[in-house]
Structure 1
Amino acid sequence: MNHHFKSYLFDLDGTVYNGDTPIDSAVAFIRKLNQQAIPYGFITNNSTKTTEQVADKLRKFHILVEPKQIVTSALATALYVKKQAAVSSVYVIGETGLEKAFANFQKDDEQPDAVIVGLDRQITYEKLSKAARFIREGAQFIATNPDRMLPSADGLVCGNGALVAAIAYAAQKEPVTIGKPNEEIVSMALEQLQFPKDETILVGDNYETDIMTGIQAGLATLHVQTGITVDCTIYEKQPTFSIASLKDWVI
């Protein structure tokens, strides 16, 4: 069966690569899109990398890509916070991607208006405690993404959702979450890439984030069994399509 979508939005971790290992079927498929001049872009809940760093990684796998084709949860979160009139200062937990996205925001280590939490692989007890304390004292609680676990070269590792859950438990407050499965990141990507919503398909491996984002945003969804979620049949809302890998998908 042939599929005639005019544009493709891809998740990255578990869909295009696992850790530092490319998923060959995905790389070959994206090259095919490029050869046929079918536009594509990437959305990722990974807030640790800048769009330039993500593009560099994809280029190492011989995928043609520009930073403007990539929307990260860090960028989406910064855009959201810019729209919040009540937020003039922030306390940020995260790595390079989030730090760069919030480079022009006023930082406050004592009484911030908002606490921004992205994955931080150097997380400390002090950072967790500060974040929870600021939130209990009234700061807005904003998470880049809710991923429980992430695929890596060594197997599954804790995602940002695990850090967010610890802070939420201590602060007794749930966050506003910006990345997938929130549809805002998809809306931003469609606008930035100028993709028509009704002719774009979202490709992802994680049902709770990728597929649910597509469903909530009203996009066609293609589930690939190369990452977190292997079987989608247990869920009430089904992806439009589910395949073992992109080797099984005909343009």
Structure 2
Amino acid sequence: MSNRRDVECWLTDMDGVLVHENHALPGAAELIQQWRDTGTPFLVLTNNSIFTPRDLAARLRSSGIDVPEESIWTSALATADFCKSQMPGGSAFVIGEAGITTALHEAGFIMTETNPDYVVVGETRNYSFDAITKAIRLINNGARFIATNPDATGPSADGVLPATGAISALITKATGKEPYVVGKPNPMMFRSAMNRIGAHSENTGMIGDRMDTDIVAGIEAGLHTVLVMTGISDQREIDRYPFRPSEVLEGVHELVAPGPVEVEM
């Protein structure tokens, strides 16, 4: 499926596509409103597992983009969905914040430090040596090692911060065990998102700003892929990879239909 006209459902990344440093990018609010007005199924995706969908919906509203919380799919939700599918009613020791703990609670998981089924590492700004030590010991004792996303660093006003991938690497070095990573670029995150909105790969598009996560995962999931240049990608970044997106656009404003949008009855 290589034609945009065949796309009936959309997945889109958030940072670098819809917003940049809490400011709406050109066309973002209009595109979301267009999808809502036409009843187009869509989800806004993010590898950030710190925040709940309600938190992220409020953040987007403050940027002028109205996205219902049920239209946001995070790596925390995808991780909880995966764990529930593997071991319903299981238990987990979690390194992370409200996004992942809330998602696991709502998936029916028990949070425990005693013989958990899983050790789940998510994003947090409060990593502790004690929690990392507990995670290492629990994994050595047989707990399965899961990470919400592979990102090694995250941005801040003062520079990069160590993120989930960096902490996971520390635990891997100490245990010799690699985590199963649910978030992008694992196409499982896209498949769980499509299941959420009843979409199929044959008629779903993915909009992202990163070749190494959004686009490669979209290709592997069989989606129509749209790379926008409002995030970290430039032509040199595109040329580094052996794969290509279905489309390269300057930004999401190019996806906004001109004039009034007619709703098909």
1:139 to 139, 143, 156: 143
3-state DSSP of counterpart to 1:212: helix
- 1:8-46: CA deviations, max 9, x gaps? 211112221234233234334334444555443212111
3-state DSSP of counterpart to 2:86: coil
Distance 1:98 1:132 in 2: 19
| Stretch deviating more after TM superposition (138-147 or 35-44) | 35-44
Give 1:223's aligned amino acid.
L
CA contact (8 A) 2:51 2:97 kept: yes
Give 1:16's aligned amino acid.
L
CA contact (8 A) 1:20 1:152 kept: no
Residue aligning to 1:214: 218
Residue aligning to 2:252: 246
Residue aligning to 1:64: 66
Give 1:175's aligned amino acid.
P
Distance 2:210 2:157 in 1: 17
Distance 1:211 1:160 in 2: 21
Equivalences for residues 13-24 of structure 1 within 5 A: 13-24=15-26
Give 1:27's aligned amino acid.
A
Report whether the alignment pairs 1:123 with 2:144: no
1:92 to 75, 88, 94: 94
CA contact (8 A) 2:149 2:164 kept: yes
TM-score by length of 2: 0.84
Q: Between Structure 1 and Structure 2, how many residues are aligned?
A: 250
Distance 1:224 1:155 in 2: 24
Residue aligning to 1:170: 174
C-alpha RMSD of the superposition: 2.4
| Stretch deviating more after TM superposition (86-95 or 146-155) | 146-155
Percent identity between the aligned chains? Answer: 37
| Stretch deviating more after TM superposition (31-40 or 43-52) | 31-40
Report whether the alignment pairs 1:201 with 2:205: yes
Gaps of 5+ in 1: none
Distance 2:232 2:90 in 1: 37
TM-score by length of 1: 0.89
| Stretch deviating more after TM superposition (61-70 or 169-178) | 61-70
- 1:202-245: CA deviations, max 9, x gaps? 01112222112101100011111222333211101111122232
2:28 to 7, 26, 29: 26
3-state DSSP of counterpart to 1:15: coil
- 1:176-195: CA deviations, max 9, x gaps? 11111112221121122123
* Structure 1 residue 161 displacement after superposition: 1.3
Gaps of 5+ in 2: 258-265
